[in-house]
Amino acid sequence: MTADLETLLTALYVKIDDEIAGTRWMGRPPQLSDSELVCLAVAQALLGRHSEARRSAS
């Protein structure tokens, strides 16, 4: 990963976290926060990986 991409993803996470920060009151704490999940989804779309499916090189 390049420094520019890392910087972009960090800024994206901070912006998302500021916008959708909320308090969870019930249940077990999640392994990922909502902000982390949204940032990962956006990063995946930006990198052109629109599915989890692995493609073979054949």
* Residue 39 CB-density burial (10 A; 0-12 exposed, 13-18 middle, 19+ buried): buried
CB 9 within 8 A of CB 36: no
**Could you read off the pLDDT of 2-24 as tens digits, one per residue?**
678 889 989 999 998 888 866 66
Record the pTM: 0.66
CB 39 within 8 A of CB 16: yes
Structure tokens at 58: 């054949």
DSSP symbol at 28 = P
Q: What percent of the chain has pLDDT over 90?
A: 10
Cα gap 3→54, rounded to integer Å: 26
